[in-house]
A and B are shown apart, each in its own frame.
Chain A
């Protein structure tokens, strides 16, 4: 069995065992493919993403623990480090700062942390980055909140 498979299987068992450990993260493995995962994360509190539930898609390479998983947002999100159309995430640990010691769970945690602390100096969403860089915190927050409400909250009625 491949190392990546074994590792993912272990992570899967871990996730099943500690389902209630982190209520903000829900990791779901694809039924037929252990290299495809989805995750539901809750927007961190005291951010414009609070109250939203965001869906992430994980595509895991064959050499997984050595190479980082590819993660993108399936839910629209207005964030300087997330591509608005593709959902691509600009996060160092998903690129050059990846360490095999990280897990899918810890990646989710890192993404939650990124949502709470946007990094406008390396933007994938230039509009959002420019708002923050020009100091228009309020503008950024209201935009992000609007998109959270539009895309990440369950429709009422």
Chain B
């Protein structure tokens, strides 16, 4: 582990350099997942006491299946070997015996790792999980990138010794970073999880969201983009408002009615006169139906139901304006009057 500790800061720094464009958030995320990687490694090491041997033995099986990196025992991936076997079976007996012997040897060496796998139950499980995820990642990074990722893993075999796994993972990070940058520069079609694999469970949802801002670097912000900075001028008020601010309504404790203010019609839907600011801020009904004060007054005199939801204003409205005052009061009963007074007492100042 000392080796890895020495290596990781440097690689982390390099990775950070590469990531500068992406901004702090993603860097922090990556850092966190890196930490988790290390924790997972530490845990797995704690489980299997005869650490290095097991790792060495198991890593080819795990990594060989997906990254094609047979490191120790077998010089070739299992598939070609079998082909040799079947071919030799077709030939004459001597060759066949030889080949059989060779096959036995090969088989023995091949069996080596599964045996050690079994002995190292828990540990190997975790290892497999790691490398499996790593392979999955390189696979998921798209067909266009596959070849490059392949070469990267090859280089990794050459340079990085199999006995130091953490370094392998750090390399993976860097490789993934490089891939990621390539990706973001050309196309972002892949389901990109550039961070180390063990963090999948925690970091996955974040990753799902992360490609958004990077993708939108190449494009203009969509008006309903969540990541669109609010400082940008709104393209069209009605389209952009609900998207950029809508998410935060619940936090701000706004009711549906007050939301409606922002998606204002420009003219009164009843009389088709333009709405002035007073009218715009006037929201007589929680259903969010807007109209001018004149129409509201007239409606209250006539039948007193909201045009939007057909509910009686006096029963539904808490934030009723003072506008309808005198005339309506004569018409309504005492109960309503009480309510009205109540609502007037708690109707807020800002609108008037």
Residue A100 at the chain B interface, CB threshold 8 Å: yes
Smallest CB–CB gap between B70 and chain A, Å?
A: 67
Cα distance, A65 to B267, chains bound together (Å): 14
Interface 0/1 of A91-129, CB less than 8 Å to B? 000000101110000000000000000000000000000
Complex contacts, B305 vs chain A, CB 8 Å: 99
Cα distance, A30 to B136, chains bound together (Å): 71
Contact across chains for B273 and A100 when beta carbons are under 8 A apart: no
For chain A, the bracket of interface size reads 10 to 19
Of the candidate stretches B1-9, B172-180, B248-256, B294-302, the one touching chain A is B294-302
Cα distance, A100 to B305, chains bound together (Å): 10
Given A66-B298, A66-B302, A101-B289: A10 touches B272 (CB 8 Å cut-off): yes
Contact across chains for B298 and A101 when beta carbons are under 8 A apart: no
Residue A21 at the chain B interface, CB threshold 8 Å: no
Closest to A7 in B: B272
Closest to A103 in B: B269
Interface 0/1 of B289-327, CB less than 8 Å to A? 100001100110011010110100000000000000000
Residue A3 at the chain B interface, CB threshold 8 Å: yes
Cα distance, A99 to B294, chains bound together (Å): 16
When the two chains form the complex, which single residue of B269, B272, B289, B299 contacts A6, counting CB atoms closer than 8 Å?
B272
Residue B270 at the chain A interface, CB threshold 8 Å: yes
Contact across chains for B271 and A101 when beta carbons are under 8 A apart: no
Residues of B participating in the A interface, judged by any CB pair closer than 8 Å: 267, 269-273, 289, 294-295, 298-299, 302-303, 305, 307-308, 310
Which 4 residue pairs are nearest across A and B when measured between Cβ atoms? A101-B307, A10-B272, A3-B271, A100-B307
Complex contacts, A101 vs chain B, CB 8 Å: 269-270, 289, 307-308
Cα distance, A10 to B310, chains bound together (Å): 23
Cα distance, A9 to B272, chains bound together (Å): 9
Q: Describe A's contact surface by its main secondary structure.
A: loop
Cα distance, A74 to B273, chains bound together (Å): 33
Cα distance, A3 to B293, chains bound together (Å): 13
Contact across chains for A100 and B295 when beta carbons are under 8 A apart: yes
Smallest CB–CB gap between A29 and chain B, Å?
A: 15
Complex contacts, B295 vs chain A, CB 8 Å: 3, 65, 100
Complex contacts, B307 vs chain A, CB 8 Å: 99-101
Q: How many A-B residue pairs have CB under 8 A?
A: 38
Complex contacts, A9 vs chain B, CB 8 Å: 272
Closest to B305 in A: A99
Contact across chains for A7 and B270 when beta carbons are under 8 A apart: yes
Interchain residue pairs with CB less than 8 A apart (12)? A3-B273, A6-B271, A6-B273, A7-B270, A7-B272, A9-B272, A65-B271, A66-B298, A66-B303, A99-B305, A99-B307, A101-B269
Closest to B302 in A: A66
Complex contacts, A63 vs chain B, CB 8 Å: 302
Cα distance, A10 to B272, chains bound together (Å): 7
A sample of 9 more A-B contacts (CB under 8 A), given A6-B272, A65-B295, is: A3-B294, A6-B273, A9-B272, A10-B272, A66-B270, A66-B302, A99-B310, A100-B295, A101-B269
Complex contacts, B299 vs chain A, CB 8 Å: 66, 100
Cα distance, A23 to B302, chains bound together (Å): 35
Contact across chains for B310 and A97 when beta carbons are under 8 A apart: yes
Cα distance, A99 to B270, chains bound together (Å): 10
Cα distance, A65 to B294, chains bound together (Å): 13
Smallest CB–CB gap between B335 and chain A, Å?
A: 22
Cα distance, A100 to B299, chains bound together (Å): 9
Cα distance, A145 to B271, chains bound together (Å): 40
Cα distance, A65 to B298, chains bound together (Å): 10
Cα distance, A57 to B344, chains bound together (Å): 44
Cα distance, A7 to B298, chains bound together (Å): 15
Interface 0/1 of A6-26, CB less than 8 Å to B? 110110000000000000000
Contact across chains for B308 and A99 when beta carbons are under 8 A apart: yes
Complex contacts, A7 vs chain B, CB 8 Å: 270-272
Chain A residues 16-74 with CB under 8 Å of chain B are 63, 65-66
Smallest CB–CB gap between B295 and chain A, Å?
A: 7
Smallest CB–CB gap between A7 and chain B, Å?
A: 5
Complex contacts, B269 vs chain A, CB 8 Å: 100-101
Smallest CB–CB gap between A68 and chain B, Å?
A: 11
Closest to A97 in B: B310
Cα distance, A100 to B271, chains bound together (Å): 9
Cα distance, A157 to B273, chains bound together (Å): 50
Cα distance, A97 to B267, chains bound together (Å): 24
Complex contacts, A99 vs chain B, CB 8 Å: 305, 307-308, 310
